[in-house]
Structures are given as C-alpha cells and as structure tokens.
Amino acid sequence: MKAVGVTPNQREVGIIEHSAPELQQDDEVRIRTLDVGICGTDREICTFVYGDPPAGSNYLVLGHEAMGEVVEVGSEVEHLKVGDFVVPSVRRPCSDENCLPCREDLQDFCSTGAYVERGIKECHGFMTESFVERERFLTYVPPELRNLAVLMEPLTIAEKGLAQAWDAQSRLPWVRHHANGKPTGKGLNAVILGAGPIGILGAMTMKAAGFETYVYNRSPLPNPKAEIVEAIGAKYISSNDVAFKDLPDLVGSIDLVYEAIGISSVAFDVLSILGVNGVYIFTGIPAPGDSIPVDANQLMRNVVLGNQAVIGTVNADDASFKAAIKDLAYFKKHWPEAIEAVITRRYPIDSCRELLLDRATGIKNVISFD
Ligand code: BGC
Ligand code: ZN
C-alpha cells in the first residue's frame, strides 16, 4: 500500500510502501481513507524536530486529520457499518493503571506522557490507502458532511478550548447561570490570534457560540482569509494597521483570547491586553528556541489584579469530536461558502513532498485518496 511517511534516521520524507492493515480485534473497523489534511504539525515532523516512529519501525506514516469510509467491521462493533463515513481521533491512552485521565477516556489529559498519537508520536497515521481503528476512537460523520469532515480534527482543538474556557469561566455566576442550559458568548468579546486553519475554525466556533469575534493576523487587507472572516460576521484586523496595544480601543474589553498563531512574542503581547476576568487559551506549540523578553511584572500584575485565567489545551476528547460534528453542520448551514473556502485544494498523494516541504500556501490543503 502507498503511504506518506518520514524516515528520520535517513532524513527522508515522501511516499513509502506500507503493509495493508487487517483487523486484529473484534471491536476494530477497517477504513478506506478519503481525505487527509496537512497541518503545521506534519510540516514540523518533516523537519525532524517533532514526532517519532513506532517502536521497531524506522519510519512514521504521517497524517492525523483524516476522514474515510468504513469497509469492514469486527464482530463486536456495535454502531458503525460498512459505508459509514468516520473521523478518527488522534491520541491513544497510555497503559499506566494509575493514569486517571487515560483510565477515564481523557487521554488528551494523559498525565504520564506515555500516550501515543497517530501520525505524530510512536504510532502510524492515516496518510495511507486504508487504516484500522477501534470503534471507540471513531466518530460517525453524517453523509452531508462528507466533503467537510477533514476539518473535524482541527475543529476539535477549538471545541476543547471553548469547553475549557466555559469550565474556567463557570467561576463567574453571570456566565455560569445562562438561560437555556448552554453558556453563551453573547455580549462577550473574543479575539482570535492567527488566521490559519486553527484560527479560522476557532473564529467560526466562537462566533457560533455568540461572541463578538475579532481575528488579529499579520496579512494586510484585503486577503482571502479576511474574506472568510468577514463572511461569518467576524472582524478581521491586520497587525499592519492596528498595533496590539490599540486592540482594546477597537474591541472593548477582551473577554477571551484563542491563540492560534504559535509565535510566543505575539501571543504574550496579546496576553498583556487581556481584559478583567478574561480567559486566555493557548493552542500553539512553538519549536524550542531563543528566549524572548517579556514584561513579567506587568503580566503577573494583570493576571492577579484582573482575575485572569490562562489555559493551555492540546488534543481533544470524544465530547469535542461530537461538538465538532454539530458545529460543522451549523457552519455549513449558515456560512456554506466560507466553510468550503477553508479547504484550499485537494491533491493526489504524489504532491505530498511539495505540500509538506515547500512554503505553506492557502489555508487547508488536503491529500485525497478517493
Ligand atoms: C494535533 C493534536 C495533537 C498535537 C500535539 C496537533 O497538530 O491536532 O491532536 O495532540 O498536534 O502532538
Ligand atoms: Zn493537526
């Protein structure tokens, strides 16, 4: 079978031969891969600073943002059937019986670090013609979302981020006591940092949750990302036109920041203007490198005197995948053109090296196996 992989000890990236997987356990499902998204993490793995092959393999099959079609089910598979579309999650639990998160199906909070991640850490990914997965790590996708479902996994990052923000903000009774059982961003301001796929999907999530939503990004206006942002009723602000210090004049008090830029200097600049009682969600994973100066005294004063919550979030749980299905349907209904424009283009597998190694272009590029 053809797969896209990295061979770190030979510093190679490209198409490799990978044996076709077979069902090993009764609760497993075999899936024909349809779409796999390419993201910054994949590109970083291709520079060999991140990611690891499984034990005993000298290569790692890439791909963690996948969707496919069920082609075979084990005898104990309960809900899925042949022909269903599914999206797999990324992280698999560690085996330590004392790891409370992993034992509670919350491996996104794994406390031992011994988790594996498909296509990233010690476990092959989905950038290959077919793969096998246990039913509990798959989310059913309604057929009408077939063409958008490749966006599910990056969307789960925003869903988990927002769920974490609501948990943190339930300390505020006026946020906790919401009318119809669901917290709402109505009357609150959210700033999204960055307009890559994580940022744009984050903006859609916050907008759908009711926030007045602003996307702060470097590219000058006009540009295609800004068009998507404006199409969903959010506002695009270029750092070319507005210095970060002036953002509160435009936005008002910043109640929530969703960081999706991965550049620590910008992230900390914007942390310094977070509003009173605000929540700041970090999602970026900058490569280790030179240290940057920050005004730590001022930051610490703000965090304490402003009752601020600063949260890091990685990966996503099952609830976030369920939430992503709902939101994707909402985006498709309300902003059909905008959500479709997030997928820049589908490419055949032969384009993998350009997509992974050349300068990133567009928003979300996808390798299609269909
Ligand atoms: C993936 C997450 C993963 C993280 C860290 C991200 O690109 O979307 O699922 O946990 O990388 O490896
Ligand atoms: Zn990713």
Ligand 1: centre distance to CA 293 (Å): 27
315 C-beta closer than 6 A to ligand 1: yes
Residue closest by Cα to atom 6 of ligand 1:
41
Residues 6 or more apart in contact with residue 78 via CB below 8 angstroms: 135
pLDDT at position 178 is: 72
The CATH classification of domain 154-312, taken from the options 3.90.76.10, 3.90.550.10, 3.30.365.10, 3.40.50.720:
3.40.50.720
Ligand 2: centre distance to CA 211 (Å): 25
120 C-beta closer than 6 A to ligand 1: yes
pLDDT at position 227 is: 98
Domains of the chain by residue range:
2-141+335-368, 154-312
Residues 6 or more apart in contact with residue 280 via CB below 8 angstroms: 256, 257, 259, 271, 274, 308, 309, 310, 311
Closest atom of ligand 1 to 314 CA is: 10
Ligand 1: centre distance to CA 109 (Å): 12
Q: What's the CATH number for 2-141+335-368? A: 3.90.180.10
pLDDT at position 324 is: 98
Ligand 2: centre distance to CA 66 (Å): 10
155 C-beta closer than 6 A to ligand 1: no
Ligand 2: centre distance to CA 298 (Å): 33
Question: What is the rounded CA–CA span in Å between residue 204 and residue 364?
Answer: 15
pTM (2 d.p.): 0.97
45 C-beta closer than 6 A to ligand 1: no
pLDDT at position 32 is: 98
Per-residue pLDDT in tens (0 to 9) along the chain, 370 residues: 999 999 999 999 999 999 999 999 999 999 999 999 999 999 999 999 999 999 999 999 999 999 999 999 999 999 999 999 999 999 999 999 999 999 999 999 999 999 999 999 999 999 999 999 999 999 999 999 999 999 999 999 999 999 999 999 999 988 876 767 778 999 999 999 999 999 999 999 999 999 999 999 999 999 999 999 999 999 999 999 999 999 999 999 999 999 999 999 999 999 999 999 999 999 999 988 889 999 999 999 999 999 999 999 999 999 999 999 999 999 999 999 999 999 999 999 999 999 999 998 999 999 999 8
Pocket-testing residue among 43, 49, 62, 64, ligand 1, by greatest number of atoms within 8 A of Cβ: 64
In the three-class reduction of DSSP (H, G, I as helix; E, B as strand; rest coil), residue 7 is classed as strand
pLDDT at position 287 is: 87
Of the bound ligands, which one is closest to the alpha carbon of residue 50? 1
Instruction: Return the closest-CA partner of residue 167 out of 159, 205, 267, 211.
Output: 159
Question: What is the rounded CA–CA span in Å between residue 319 and residue 349?
Answer: 31
Ligand 1: centre distance to CA 115 (Å): 12
Question: Could you give the strand order of the β-sheet that contains 309-312, starting from the edge strand earlier in sequence?
Answer: 235-238, 212-217, 189-193, 256-259, 279-282, 309-312
pLDDT at position 175 is: 80
Residue closest by Cα to atom 3 of ligand 1:
315
122 C-beta closer than 6 A to ligand 1: no
Query: What one-character DSSP code corresponds to residue 233?
Result: T
Ligand 2: centre distance to CA 200 (Å): 14
Closest atom of ligand 1 to 153 CA is: 8
Residue closest by Cα to atom 10 of ligand 1:
315
Question: What is the rounded CA–CA span in Å between residue 167 and residue 335?
Answer: 28
